[in-house]
């Protein structure tokens, strides 16, 4: 039996961040990370296309929480304790400056996730955190300590037995660990995918992959789910922030529908009637011109072409020749085009799920379990997830930092 003061289960972003902060604040403690893989920080490595989207340039807690479909209410207090600015400062102190991109995402100036990984590995070494790879946790057992009024932990891994006074679980969406936590008395909200793109087969978009509509409104029909932002047409359907936000906030509802539903897209963010009136003016002003060739509303040319053809006209139809039905068809395609979604695809390597430890069972002042004293959490092991853009990492940094602070004060 190998004895440690604190054991971190999971060698990802939250696990390393917690371990380093514990060891830095309390060099006298024996801290170990148990990682099931042959290397850790794999999600950090692939995030942001290999650049690592560390956080997002949103500095007001009340605004930041709006990016969390699950965890919004619970994270408000924690974000007042450790926020985006604190993350930036933490990395800069360690020689890893971050930069803000136009869309608010923040990356290391180096543009390489390896910079973040190197920073964590160097600090773990500096503060004598023991990182043990190929250690998959098979069992967690507790024994109550009268003296401290809390639990003592024994962990069985594929490589041996460990014991610790405190443990922090930062394993992300790991069904095996959720099962172990369930055995300790926790309730697990069943996981469903959160960030995904929509599979759509439709003549209007079949031949125009790569086209981006810069600002659209998308609604899932027969629900209150809607979002806005850029929309990317892909070889398999649709993606980009407007779709990914919808997939995150609609994760539970869309899973219930088995990812078969209809969306309505307003490509120009105008009402049907306003659009129709504008088209009538264009019918007069551009009378002799081809509708197909005179792109309007700042839409990408290829998208305009497809919407025109879908409105029962051909490439030679002139504005002057449009009848009432064709004008209404075009207004409909522009402001309320309906598409059938038939399935989902994973968004790049951003594996995110909705689900995990029930948030009512966690004290968000310390990220300690309310069910098992001395057991802490960080990151997506909890039923917290966010839209794309660095928000999931910010949740991991915040939870890990606050838990580390609570652990160092109570041991």
Binned at pLDDT 50, 70 and 90, residue 185 comes out as: very high
pLDDT higher than 80, residue 346: no
pLDDT higher than 60, residue 159: yes
CB 267 within 8 A of CB 307: yes
When computed from its CA atoms, the radius of gyration of the chain, rounded to whole angstroms, is 25
Residue 223 CA to residue 216 CA, distance in Å, equals: 18
Q: Which tens digits make up the pLDDT trace of 6-29?
A: 999 999 999 999 999 999 999 999
Mean pLDDT across the chain, nearest whole number? 96
How crowded is residue 288: how many other Cβ atoms within 10 Å of its Cβ?
8
| Whole-number Cα distances in Å, 250 to 88, 138, 225, 259, 367 | 31, 33, 7, 10, 26
Q: Which tens digits make up the pLDDT trace of 242-300?
A: 999 999 999 999 999 999 999 999 999 999 999 999 999 999 999 999 999 999 999 99
| Topology (CATH level 3) of domain 2-192+353-410 | FAD/NAD(P)-binding domain (3.50.50)
pLDDT higher than 90, residue 147: no
| Whole-number Cα distances in Å, 108 to 21, 26, 51 | 20, 28, 7
Helices (H), 170-293: 175-183, 203-206, 241-249, 251-256, 272-285
Q: Which tens digits make up the pLDDT trace of 226-244?
A: 999 999 999 999 999 999 9
Q: Which tens digits make up the pLDDT trace of 36-82?
A: 999 999 999 999 999 999 999 999 999 999 999 999 999 999 999 99
Domain boundary assignment for the chain = 2-192+353-410, 196-350
- Position 148 scores a pLDDT of 78
What pTM was computed for the model?
0.92
**61, containing H or E segment:** helix 61-64
pLDDT higher than 90, residue 352: no
């Amino acid at each position: 039996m190998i004895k440690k003061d604190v054991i971190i289960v999971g060698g990802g972003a939250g696990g390393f961040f917690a371990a380093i902060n514990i060891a830095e604040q309390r060099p006298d403690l024996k801290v170990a990370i148990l990682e099931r893989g042959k290397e850790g920080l794999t999600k950090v490595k692939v995030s942001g296309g290999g650049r690592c989207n560390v956080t997002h340039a949103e500095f007001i807690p009340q605004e930041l929480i709006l990016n969390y479909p699950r965890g919004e209410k619970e994270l408000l207090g924690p974000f007042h304790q450790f926020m985006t600015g604190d993350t930036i400062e933490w990395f800069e102190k360690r020689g890893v400056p971050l930069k803000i991109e136009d869309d608010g995402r923040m990356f290391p100036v180096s543009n390489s996730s390896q910079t973040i990984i190197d920073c964590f590995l160097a600090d773990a070494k500096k503060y004598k955190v023991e990182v043990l790879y190929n250690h998959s946790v098979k069992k967690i057992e507790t024994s109550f300590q009268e003296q401290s009024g809390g639990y003592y932990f024994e962990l069985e891994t594929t490589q041996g037995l460990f014991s610790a006074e405190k443990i922090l679980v930062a394993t992300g969406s790991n069904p095996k660990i959720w099962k172990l936590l369930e055995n300790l008395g926790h309730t697990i909200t069943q996981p469903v995918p959160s960030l995904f793109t929509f599979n759509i087969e439709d003549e209007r978009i079949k031949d125009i992959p790569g086209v981006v509509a810069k600002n659209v409104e998308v609604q899932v029909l027969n629900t209150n789910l809607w979002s806005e932002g850029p929309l990317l047409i892909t070889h398999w359907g649709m993606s980009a922030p407007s779709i990914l936000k919808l997939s995150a906030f609609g994760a539970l509802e869309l899973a219930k529908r088995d990812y078969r539903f209809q969306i309505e897209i307003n490509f120009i963010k105008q009402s049907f009637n306003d659009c129709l009136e504008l088209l009538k003016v264009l019918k007069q002003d551009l009378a002799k011109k081809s509708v197909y060739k005179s792109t309007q509303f700042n839409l990408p040319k290829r998208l305009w072409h497809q919407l025109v053809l879908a409105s029962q006209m051909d490439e030679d139809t002139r504005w002057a020749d449009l009848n009432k039905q064709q004008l209404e068809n075009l207004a409909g395609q522009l402001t309320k085009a309906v598409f059938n979604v038939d399935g989902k695809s994973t968004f790049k390597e951003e594996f995110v799920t909705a689900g995990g430890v029930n948030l009512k069972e966690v004290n968000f002042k310390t990220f300690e379990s309310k069910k098992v004293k001395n057991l802490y959490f960080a990151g997506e092991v909890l039923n917290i997830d966010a839209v794309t853009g660095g928000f999931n990492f910010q949740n991991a940094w915040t939870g890990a930092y606050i838990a580390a602070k609570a652990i160092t004060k109570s041991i």
